[in-house]
Chains A and B, each alone.
Chain A
Amino acid sequence: MALLSKKDTNLILDPLADNNPITIQVLGICSALAITAELKASLVMAISVIFVMGVGNVVISLLRNVIPSKIRIIAQLIVVATLVIVVDQVLKAFAYELSKTLSVFVGLIITNCIIMGRFEAFALGNGVWRSFLDGIGNALGYGVILVIIGFFRELLGSGTLFGIPVLGDPIAKTGLYSIGYENNGFMIIPPAALIVVGIIIWVQRSRNPALVEEN
């Protein structure tokens, strides 16, 4: 880690666990839930957000002395919207099927509060390199949760990972299905995502009691 000082490393590592944007800062939850029924969609969403956050934080950090504070929300929205258009067009060009699955949720990256939250809390007051690291760190923290939710929902709900059956064939009754295992259709429906996040929060806070909130 010659490239990164200890302080800079923390910028990346903190949001992965103890300062996670989803479970601790309560930011960017909408998209974390809606598109996580499949691992592939979760992963693509995570990558898109990492791109938008990384570049967006750099742009806002560069412009931070130019943007008048009164209209900063609109200025920030324009920067994010431009980056999201790029992501959306790239997805439509190279992964059309996937862009159909993600549907409006790519557009909703614009209003993903992680992005606005980090612009407001960090990029407006810090240098370019640190803002970039902060953006990547927070987007990674978001991505980690997304991938965990996607993994469990796809594995338990459809018995597949990335669309490849891993628990055997449910129709031919091979693998786990031969001993009576059934796919849990509950994991596919939207409310299951909320409950999985609830459980992730539960596990995280049992491991680190300092994070426990009041009722």
Chain B
Amino acid sequence: MLEHLELFFKSIFIDNMVFAVFLGMCSYLAVSKKVATAVGLGAAVIFVLAVTVPLNWLLDQYLLRDGALAWLGPEYADYNLGFLSFILFIATIATMVQLVEIVVEKFSPSLYNSLGIFLPLIAVNCAILGGSLFMQAREIPSLGLALNYGISSGIGWFLAILAIAAIREKIRYSNVPAPLRGLGITFIITGLMGIGFQSFGGMLTGDNDPPEGTETTTAEKTEEKEIIEKEIEDDKKAVSYNDVIKE
């Protein structure tokens, strides 16, 4: 439970999609002129991330990573299809976005109309693919955590676009130097917000991620066993968690 909470706050504030890794900047800048549209797009991003990250986690776990094909039989255990991950991830995302579009159009035409072209454009929003790629790079251990990661990084993106849209609505009444108007000042405000968000780094209680490139020692191997045991528990939890979300 604690690790879920930690990942949740970490993805929203410390590893914020916009301010820490600059993902989804294009739509962040293009769609943030009005709060109403920003909210619509933000909600769509949360939803698509919550669907695609766990799906891609399953793909990564059972198809792509080193030795992932072991469930097919021992002779397949040596395959590493990792190089295919870009194409499979983007295919999943494009399919899911298309599916979401069809479902929304069918069940809530008014929402569909208000989102308009933003919905299909989510397929090429780097925040979505970035979510899956970071999920893979950070080796998120369980499906439950992957779902958590998708939702919370979506919330982080939502917060960011909401904040900048509100600021941009107000800044219309200020006297910004002419060459900085529009794009320039938005960049600088985002930078300042990013500096503000860096102070959330102090929130980290304890970072369990091993630094990149370190080799596993025996101590870590025993930890790994514990993680695997936790993973099994988490998977059980994740199933019930999933049901709650669907309801």
Contact = CB atoms under 8 A, between A and B. Distances in A.
Contact of A30 (B19, B23, B87): B23
Chain A interface residue bracket vs B: 35 or more
Given A190-B194, A201-B180, A215-B171, A112 B30 contact: no
A124 interface: no
B23 A78 contact: no
Nearest to A81: B87
A73 B123 contact: yes
A198 B185 contact: yes
B124 A116 contact: yes
The binding surface of chain A is classed by DSSP as: helix
B59 interface: no
A47 interface: no
Chain B interface residue bracket vs A: 35 or more
B21 A191 contact: no
Contacts of A29: 22, 25-26, 29
Contacts of B193: 191
A201 B129 contact: no
B94 A108 contact: no
Interface stretch (B60-68, B69-77, B130-138): B130-138
A207 B176 CA distance: 17
B187 interface: yes
Contact of B26 (A27, A73, A74, A198): A27
Interface in A67-108: 73-74, 77-78, 81-82, 84-85, 88-89, 100, 103-104, 107-108
Contacts of A4: none
